[in-house]
Amino acid sequence: MSTPLLEVLGLRKAYPGVVANDDVSFSARQGEVHALLGENGAGKSTLVKTIYGLVRPDAGRMRVEGRDYVPASPHDARQAGVAMVFQHFSLFEALDVAENVALGMEVPPPMRELATRIREVSETYGLPLDPTRLVGTLSAGERQRVEIIRCLLQDPNILIMDEPTSVLTPQEVAILFETLKRLRAEGKLILYISHKLEEIRALCDWATILRHGKVTGSCDPRRKSARELAETMVGSELTLPAARTREPGEVALSMAGLTAASGAAFGTELKNVFLEVRRGEILGIGGVAGNGQDELLAVLSGELRSPAESILLGDLPIGSFGPNERRALGVLAAPQDRLGHPTAPDMSL
């Protein structure tokens, strides 16, 4: 057997009150798409941030191509051929694609040359992208391509992707998978983080499964059912909650043709949105990230104001109320972004 491209041996990382990675070991080979699978909070992001030199482990070792690998920073990681596409993008919306790529490079080539290289990489790997487009006008999937191309320009041996499909449409997922298969055929190692089991079964050659910071199993995900994988992830037999049938109550909250501009520079405008939630009801809102969900939450929480009558709490018009007035009326919002919205993210409950 040849030496694994990446070996992780007994990594540990503790944060106050939680051991994010607890004696984590796994190895992966070139030409492999290797899944890191686990529930929210299982320690996946901490693990790959350690591999990318962003987090210093408390204990444990790593090896790349059989040699000791101790990255003190992402710069060291890149030097060793490790690249990472983040879960949350770090792009400047007011700059174009090529300018954004240049900002991430240590020694950027002249802009015209860079634009040519971006076009080449984008064609080679089937990732359509125009280097002159302003990033603020790109979809989430296109922004991710900017990040991927930025990584590929470094010609990495190991490409880390943290939950890449959470922001993609099904069509964009299909394009991404073609790209990843191509990279695998070139002999690259892809570390692929996800909790979407069907995706992992469709794409990955091997899976390391994490729970509460520990490795709880590893397997060829194509040989396991989604249910078996889920059980290794959550650590017990899955019991699906029984849906209760109950007559819905009176209308608790309604929105009648609400239209609101986004507060953010490149946000999505809400146009003529109708919805109605009754007591005892859970209303799900579907859609690919970036299609107005953030704005909808903002108008519901009161961060974005709208005409009073556009939102009714029972019969009471609340569209013009701010967050505090709404909270006093019992309307609470839990935003997706734990770090941007809360005022005291580090305090315990």
Site of interaction with Mg ion (CB under 5 A): 45
Q: Minimum distance between the CB of residue 17 and ligand ADP, rounded to whole angstroms?
A: 8
Q: Of 42, 146, 233, 311, which one interacts with ligand ADP (CB under 6 A)?
A: 42
Listing DSSP states for 194-256 in one string gives: ES-HHHHHHH-SEEEEEETTEEEEEE-GGGS-HHHHHHHHHSS---PPPPPP----SEEEEEE
Q: Which two tokens stand for residue 249?
A: 């109550």
31 binds ligand ADP (CB under 6 A): no
43 binds ligand ADP (CB under 6 A): yes
Q: Minimum distance between the CB of residue 44 and Mg ion, rounded to whole angstroms?
A: 5
- What residues between 231 and 290 interact with ligand ADP by CB under 6 A? none
Q: Which stretch of DSSP H or E encloses residue 162? A: strand 158-162
With CB under 5 to 8 Å by kind, the binding choice for 43 among Mg ion, ligand ADP, none is: ligand ADP
Pick the closest to residue 255 from 295, 177, 174, 312 (CA basis): 312
Closer to ligand ADP by CB, 134 or 289: give it. 289
Q: Minimum distance between the CB of residue 40 and ligand ADP, rounded to whole angstroms?
A: 5
With CB under 5 to 8 Å by kind, the binding choice for 221 among Mg ion, ligand ADP, none is: none
With CB under 6 A as the contact rule, which of the stretches 33-41, 115-123, 182-190, 277-285 interacts with ligand ADP? 33-41
Q: Minimum distance between the CB of residue 133 and Mg ion, rounded to whole angstroms?
A: 28
Closer to ligand ADP by CB, 52 or 125: give it. 52
Backbone angles phi and psi of 37, in degrees to 5:
-115, 140
Are the CB atoms for 83 and 160 separated by under 8 Å? yes
Q: How far apart are CA 26 and CA 339, in angstroms?
A: 30
Question: Under DSSP, is residue 76 helix (H, G, I), strand (E, B) or coil?
Answer: helix
If one counts every other C-beta atom within 10 angstroms of the C-beta of residue 188, the result is 22
Q: Minimum distance between the CB of residue 44 and ligand ADP, rounded to whole angstroms?
A: 3
Q: Which residues contact 128 (CB under 8 A, 6 or more apart)?
A: 122, 145
**CA 229 → CA 33, 161, 207, 215, 287, distances in Å?**
17, 20, 9, 13, 26
15 binds ligand ADP (CB under 6 A): yes
DSSP 107: S
Torsion sign, CA atoms 74, 80, 84, 90: positive
With CB under 5 to 8 Å by kind, the binding choice for 78 among Mg ion, ligand ADP, none is: none
With CB under 5 to 8 Å by kind, the binding choice for 70 among ligand ADP, Mg ion, none is: none
Closer to ligand ADP by CB, 190 or 273: give it. 190
Q: Minimum distance between the CB of residue 36 and ligand ADP, rounded to whole angstroms?
A: 8
Q: Of 9, 10, 25, 41, which one interacts with ligand ADP (CB under 6 A)?
A: 41
Closer to Mg ion by CB, 164 or 319: give it. 164
Q: How far apart are CA 289 and CA 35, in angstroms?
A: 23
Q: Minimum distance between the CB of residue 224 and Mg ion, rounded to whole angstroms?
A: 22
- Beta bridge partner(s), residue 255: 275, 311
Q: Which two tokens stand for residue 235?
A: 């650590």
Binding site for ligand ADP (CB under 6 A): 15, 18, 20, 38, 40-46
